[in-house]
Structure 1
Amino acid sequence: MAQDTAQTPVAPPAPARALLPLILPALVVGVVASLLFVGVSAAAEQLQDVLWKNLPDALGVGRYSVLWMMVMLTATGVLVGLVVWKAPGHAGPDPATTGLDAPVLPPAVLPGLLLATALMLAGGPSLGPENPIIAVNVGVAFWLGSRLVPRMPGAVWPMLAEAATIGALFGTPVAAALLISEALAERRTKGALWDNVFAPLVAAAAGALTTDLVDHPTFDLDLPPIGRPGWGDLLAALVIASAAALLGLCAVYAFPYVHGAFARLGHPMLMLPAGGVVLGLLAALGGRLTLFKGLDEVGELAADPEGWSAGQFATMTVVKLAALLVAASCGFRGGRIFPAVFVGTALGLTAHALVPGVHPAVGVATAVLGVLLAITRHGWLSLFVAAVLVASPTIIALLCFASLPAWLLVTGRPQMQLRKDGTPVR
């Protein structure tokens, strides 16, 4: 054993003097990324109130009537289509081809991407802010950082911005640290792990703390607490996570075909309004809770697990997944994590409604885990999000067991991200 240890090369730790200069830039990037995220979210919420409360009230139309949902989602498709058509750089690349690791976009593209994102968030399509906000923060950090601190390697700025934005999105640096560790393992980066994550973790912590101080986010759904888990809880976790992963894979496999159908329309002023019409029809079927990114709506579902029947929960699950698929395919700028959380929550509550012996917290956490594994293919992020929804140490062991069959189902399968030629990334 001693001989093996002596023969194993150990990478020397990065000296403190190499890490210290990164602290201030990481702090600045973290604060700026968080403020940009909070600002865009606040502006979108104000616009949402105008579009979905003030305007229909002034017109004497029901706020979430079928007519108003159809009008608003179609109009949102038209407005975002105009931005994508006319804005410099067409509001960034096709969102179906991007993930959390955003490319560095030219500065001229970023205002159009921000505007398209704010309109989408306010108008009701089922996408979250994560992908475009990360892309904007990466572009801003790279453009400013490379000019203000030219001696730093250019690759540092996107890494800091991604970590900072993820920390800001979830109000904790843990999610960013897990994603960075996963990315470093894939790239087989040399050096000590903590040397490599030092600066991104500073940025993520600064972003998370800024968001906490300014916006006070919370992901805990305040579901009934879990006692000591039993064999029934373990069985439920394994079955529900696997079923959720299979459901998520249905959307993943349909993604290139739905995207191809919209792409054949050939112009954003056809693709996005058509997507808005389809989303309006889905909203008419699923109801108002299937609109928007889904985070507030998840809280409403979890506040009353007995408030809907199994059929209603199942309908919302399918409709929200279809809305996510359509919105991501037709060109709306947005991410897939937050609506996927809604899909998992509704599916978990469906399981509880069908089998009352399934604890609602177990159903929700494991279903969210399975859906996120299928859609994001980020194991650590999926575990983290599922765990923070149910603030209980008990759930973590169940989630770890439940992730095993779910991961076996999704690994090696296509991802919900396409190449430029329309083929799925694997």
Structure 2
Amino acid sequence: MKEIHKLAMENSSEVIELRRDIHKHPEIGRKEFRTADLIRSKLEEYGVDQIDSPVPTAVIALIHGNKGEGKCVALRADIDALPVEEETGLPYSSEVPGMMHACGHDMHVAMLLGVAKILCQKREEFAGTVKLIFQHSEDTMPGGAKELVEKGALENPQVDAIFGMHVYPDEDKVGKIGIHAGPLTTSVDIYNITVKGKGGHGSEPHTTKDPILAACEMVTLLQQIPSRYINPLETVVFPICTIQGGEAVNVIPSEAKFSGVARTYNNAVRGQIKEQVTQIAEGVGTLSGCKVEVDHVVGYPACYNDKALIETAETAIEEVLGKDAIVQLEEPKAFSEDFSYFTEMSDVPGAYLLLFAGHEGDLVSLHNPKCAMKEEAMPAGVAVMTGTALKFLQG
């Protein structure tokens, strides 16, 4: 397995060059045409066995081992950028105004291409099939993963397990791999709520049906969902992040709007939250005389890491990079990822790993216009994904 890391280091210049090319030419979800063309071109160059595009900007490739039939393992990388104006000052900064790879997907693509090159060189050493999934539109709901599962991306051949990896900015763990069995990322559900009442003069509130008062009552009641309606052992956050209503200081408006995002690690809790939001809306509407409309945008499920697959990945990490490269995450992360659809919508187990990638300059979060992670972490990502795929096929 140590040879895999050596190959990843030998190929690092090409992987970094690919990353920089993709970074300079970001494309948002469902418009990743140039990126998809580049992926297909490199896969053809490396000699994969089959290339398909279930949707125009997603690419799926197969690499068959020469030792015969066996299991099928999928490796996934998301490929889309964000509508963000880059402020990193990097020499390979985005050349597209208002778009940027601020979530590391450029690194994901380049690393999975690096994996493809190594696996094509090592066909003689494994049985079974590696399915490479270059997924479109992760950062635009409803998410490209859902669409790919619906179009049969996990079939023909049937996938037995799927692995993914996300780069993560940090200060002192560059090139190390974070693992965590069980829930890793939260679900996400957006609630846009409109309260329609009857406006009037501020001196005569008794002649109105005040939507601002009703909205404020509802905001307060919604904050009771995590503390009073959900088991306290469950993690639930439901912040209200926007609120609008009224323009004049002496006029009660006819309408108020607010919105919030609910997150939890337990997909079953999502239904409880929705039920409570609906009941609160109906109750506030009845008491206030206002009409309360709830627009529920169903986001991504929580991502759950299969314990056996995490153990497979852990073994591969130790054999490829050494035991010191393993970081046991003490707790899951609060962001959301549509990788979860690959397991939620099928019987396929999955595992999602974190590659700590440091940061150029002051540490900022993903999606920040100054987000710039270190390319020196990428060979570790290539090596671990390659090693994990081979370890699973050998098991």
Is this a same-fold pair by TM over 0.5? no
Greater fraction helix:
1
Structure of higher RCO (CA pairs closer than 8 Å, 6+ residues apart): 2
| TM-score (normalizing by structure 1) | 0.24
Greater share of strand residues, 1 or 2?
2
> Normalising by the residue count of structure 2, what TM-score does the alignment of the two structures yield?
0.25
Structure exhibiting the larger radius of gyration computed from Cα positions: 2
